[in-house]
Amino acid sequence: MSAHVVTLGCRLNLAESERIRAMFAAEPGEVVIVNSCAVTSEAVRQTRQAIRKARRAQPDARLLVTGCAADIERERFAAMDEVDGLVANTAKLDPRSWNLPPAQTPQAPTKTRAFVAVQNGCDHACTFCVIPQGRGTSRSLSVSQVLREVGAHFARGAKEIVLTGVDLTSWGEDLPGAPGLGVLVEAILREYPALPRLRLSSVDGIEIDPLLFDLIAGEARVMPQLHLSLQHGHDLILKRMKRRHGRSDALSLVERLKARRPELAIGADLIAGFPTEADAHHAANRAIIEELDIVHAHVFPYSARPGTPAARMPQVDGATIKARAAELRETAAKVRQAWLVSLVGQPLAVLVEKDGTGHAANFARVRAPEGAVPGTVVTITPTRLDEGLLA
């Protein structure tokens, strides 16, 4: 039977969960695996909540926990009555860690969109982040390893490959010759000329190499969507976060890319209420949503993580953080609504999924016509916007 895998957090966790589930496909018995997240204190709380919920749903199953939270707060999770065991984050794709035969290579089942984790870990030291503690230093798959995995998904019908990692744009820094991510993207496109869609998950804009820039700006098979690990819109807060870019870097990058590819849809991660954030800092954070035309915004209320430098900085009170996060989301919703309205009447190439919807190249969600076959790319010209869904 297949293991029941509960996934929290990032797309990398999602990709890894699929491979874990595949490892257990031929195994008898009941097992529940919680793949945890520690990016915020709220994520850790949700992980604990998910463990308790899973235990109530399957009281007789063996319940195992892996992921960043299980590594960073190992003793805390090991002490939970619901938990039968922990598996180290760095070992969770090794069948032996689950007492499975070593030959049982984890191969995720292919869906219409396949996530391929090409990089893991992080060498940076952002003051708010504990992920390097849970993921370790940056490690890259070789070009040949990535090509094999992409090829396996493509052979089983995937129409879109999504490259993902903890710090995706640092791919290659630990490989001979330190190639940039553009080298990998170009190799995939060259090796699989019939692959219709290649998408990037979250990227650090300051790490985009010249070849990658050109591919994002001019290669039709690289999807016109760029999700930036932006975090904030004010230089002082970015400095206190120990980010390596400034506000002007983000504005310049997007301006240069859109000059060559105007349809590029911008997404970004933004943190509300970082320590020492004053009203003027928050105003700049809110303004950059409109200045960059961020149509895919992920807003995170700041929550202190013990052991990080930011946790020792002067904190913003909880009510203010909540209010500022709501204001960021309100601005982001207005920008996104205007963007979606602008897409009405435009033909969009949509990858159809099993739920009867699909995503356009710019990642706008679109209702597929009745009878559309999942896994196919169809052209749809939406005539209206229905509760955030183009139809």
Q: Taking the model in full, what pTM does it have?
A: 0.87
Structure confidence by residue, pLDDT tens digits, 88-131: 888 888 888 888 887 655 555 556 889 999 999 999 999 999 88
Residues 92 and 146 in one domain: no
Instruction: Please report, rounded to a whole number, the percentage of residues in the chain having pLDDT higher than 70.
Output: 96
Give me the pLDDT at residue 71, please: 87
| Total tally of structural domains belonging to the chain | 3
Q: How many CB atoms lie within 10 A of CB 99?
A: 8
Collect all residues with Cβ–Cβ distance below 8 Å to 180 and sequence separation of at least 6.
Answer: 171, 172, 209, 210, 211, 212
Same-domain status, 327 and 185: yes
213 and 308 assigned to the same domain: yes
Residue 45 is assigned to a structural domain of this protein: yes
- Per-residue pLDDT tens over the stretch 136-193: 899 999 999 999 999 999 998 999 999 999 999 999 999 999 999 999 999 999 999 9
Same domain, 52 and 80: yes
**What is the residue range of 160's domain?**
113-343
Of 39, 112, 45, 109, residue with least CA distance to 77: 45
159 and 197: one domain? yes
Examine residue 242 and state whether it is found in any structural domain, yes or no.
Answer: yes
CA dist 370 and 368 (Å) reads: 6
Cα torsion 323, 328, 329, 333: sign: positive
Residues recorded for the chain: 391
Backbone angles phi, psi at 260, to 5 degrees: -100, -25
Picking from 17, 54, 22, the residue whose alpha carbon sits closest to that of residue 37 is 17
Q: Are residues 382 and 317 in the same domain?
A: no
